[in-house]
Chains A and B, each alone.
Chain A
Amino acid sequence: MARLAALTGNNAAAEAIRQIKPDVFAAYPITPQTELAEEVAQFVADGILDTEYIPVESEHSSMSVCIGASLAGARAMTATASCGLAYMWELLPTTASLRSPVVMVVVNRAFNAPLNIHCSHDDSMGARDSGWVQLYSENAQEMYDNLIQAVKIAEDETIRLPVMVCMDGFIISHAVERLLLLEDEKVKNFLGEFKPVHSLLEVNNPVTIGACALPDYYTEHKKQHSEALRRSLDKIMEVANEYAKISGRSYSLFESYQLADAEYGIVIVNSAAGVTRTVVDKLRKEGVKAGLLKIRVYRPFPAAQIVQALKNLKVVAVLERTDSFGGVGSPVFTDISAAFMEAQTKEKPLMVNYIYGLGGRDVGLKDIGKVYANLQVINQKGKIEKSFAYLQARE
Chain B
Amino acid sequence: MAINLKELAKKEELFTPGHRLCAGCGTAVLMRQVMLAVEGPVVISMATSCPFVSTATYPYTSWKVPWIHSAFENAPATISGVEAAYKALRKKGKVTQDIKFISMAGDGGTYDIGFQALSGAIERGHRFLHICYNNEAYMNTGIQRSGATPLGAHTTTSPAGKLIPGKREFRKDLTAIIAAHDAPYVAQTTPFHWRDLMTKVQKALAVDGPSFINVLTSCHRGWRSDIKNDMQILRLAVDTCYWPLYEVENGKWKLNYKVRNKLPVIEWIKPQGRFAHLLKEENQPIVAKIQQKIDENWEKLLAKCSAD
Report which A residues bind B (CB closer than 8 A): 23-24, 26, 50-52, 54-58, 60-61, 64-74, 76, 90-91, 94, 98, 199-203, 206-214, 217, 221
B81 and A69 contact, CB distance less than 8 A: yes
B52 within 8 A of A: yes
B117 within 8 A of A: yes
Given A23-B89, A201-B43: A68 and B71 interface contact (C-beta under 8 Å): no
Q: Which of A68, A72, A202, A211 has the most CB of B within 10 A?
A: A68
Q: Which residues of B contact A209 (CB under 8 A)?
A: 66-69
Q: Which residues of B contact A50 (CB under 8 A)?
A: 91
A196 to B284, CA, bound (A): 60
Given A76-B85, A211-B58: A67 and B78 interface contact (C-beta under 8 Å): yes
CB distance from A55 to the nearest CB of B (A): 7
B57 within 8 A of A: yes
**Contact residues, B1-35 vs A (CB, 8 A):** none
> What 9 pairs between A and B have smallest CB-CB spacing?
A68-B81, A57-B120, A64-B77, A74-B85, A65-B81, A72-B85, A211-B56, A203-B41, A61-B77
A91 to B72, CA, bound (A): 10
What sequence of 0s and 1s flags, for each residue 65-101 of chain B, a beta carbon within 8 Å of any chain A beta carbon? Answer: 1111111011001111111111111011011010100
Given A60-B77, A201-B89: A73 and B94 interface contact (C-beta under 8 Å): yes
**Contact residues, B146-177 vs A (CB, 8 A):** none
CB distance from B43 to the nearest CB of A (A): 5
B267 within 8 A of A: no
The one of B43, B65, B71, B123 that contacts A91, using a Cβ cutoff of 8 Å? B71
The one of B52, B88, B92, B117 that contacts A212, using a Cβ cutoff of 8 Å? B52
A199 to B66, CA, bound (A): 8
- Nearest residue (CB) in A for B56 is A211
Q: Which residues of B contact A55 (CB under 8 A)?
A: 124
B87 and A52 contact, CB distance less than 8 A: yes
Given A61-B117, A201-B89: A68 and B79 interface contact (C-beta under 8 Å): yes
Given A57-B119, A74-B88, A201-B85: A208 and B67 interface contact (C-beta under 8 Å): yes
A91 and B88 contact, CB distance less than 8 A: no
A74 and B84 contact, CB distance less than 8 A: yes
A214 and B74 contact, CB distance less than 8 A: no
The one of B41, B52, B88 that contacts A52, using a Cβ cutoff of 8 Å? B88
Given A54-B124, A212-B57: A68 and B66 interface contact (C-beta under 8 Å): no
A223 to B295, CA, bound (A): 58
A94 and B70 contact, CB distance less than 8 A: yes
A73 to B57, CA, bound (A): 24
The one of B58, B63, B94, B116 that contacts A217, using a Cβ cutoff of 8 Å? B58
CB distance from A66 to the nearest CB of B (A): 6
B85 and A58 contact, CB distance less than 8 A: no
- Nearest residue (CB) in A for B119 is A57
B77 and A72 contact, CB distance less than 8 A: no
Q: Which residues of B contact A74 (CB under 8 A)?
A: 81, 84-85, 88-89
A57 and B117 contact, CB distance less than 8 A: yes
The one of B43, B61, B88, B121 that contacts A24, using a Cβ cutoff of 8 Å? B88
The one of B53, B63, B119 that contacts A206, using a Cβ cutoff of 8 Å? B63
Q: Which residues of A contact B60 (CB under 8 A)?
A: 211
B262 within 8 A of A: no
A67 to B45, CA, bound (A): 11
A363 to B96, CA, bound (A): 55
- Nearest residue (CB) in A for B81 is A68
B285 within 8 A of A: no
A58 to B121, CA, bound (A): 11
B57 and A61 contact, CB distance less than 8 A: no
B73 and A72 contact, CB distance less than 8 A: no
Q: Which residues of B contact A58 (CB under 8 A)?
A: 116-117, 120
Q: Which residues of A contact B83 (CB under 8 A)?
A: 68
B80 and A54 contact, CB distance less than 8 A: yes
A69 to B78, CA, bound (A): 8
- Nearest residue (CB) in A for B87 is A52
A58 to B124, CA, bound (A): 13
B64 within 8 A of A: yes
Q: Which residues of B contact A26 (CB under 8 A)?
A: 81, 84
B78 and A65 contact, CB distance less than 8 A: yes
A66 to B70, CA, bound (A): 11
CB distance from B125 to the nearest CB of A (A): 11
The one of B56, B58, B68, B74 that contacts A61, using a Cβ cutoff of 8 Å? B74
A60 to B89, CA, bound (A): 24
B52 and A64 contact, CB distance less than 8 A: no
B85 and A203 contact, CB distance less than 8 A: no
A60 and B74 contact, CB distance less than 8 A: yes
**Contact residues, B187-233 vs A (CB, 8 A):** none
A210 to B41, CA, bound (A): 20
A64 and B71 contact, CB distance less than 8 A: yes
Given A24-B81, A52-B87, A56-B77: A217 and B117 interface contact (C-beta under 8 Å): no
The one of A67, A91, A206, A213 that contacts B66, using a Cβ cutoff of 8 Å? A206
- Nearest residue (CB) in B for A100 is B70
B74 and A212 contact, CB distance less than 8 A: no
A67 to B53, CA, bound (A): 20
B85 and A211 contact, CB distance less than 8 A: no
A90 to B99, CA, bound (A): 29
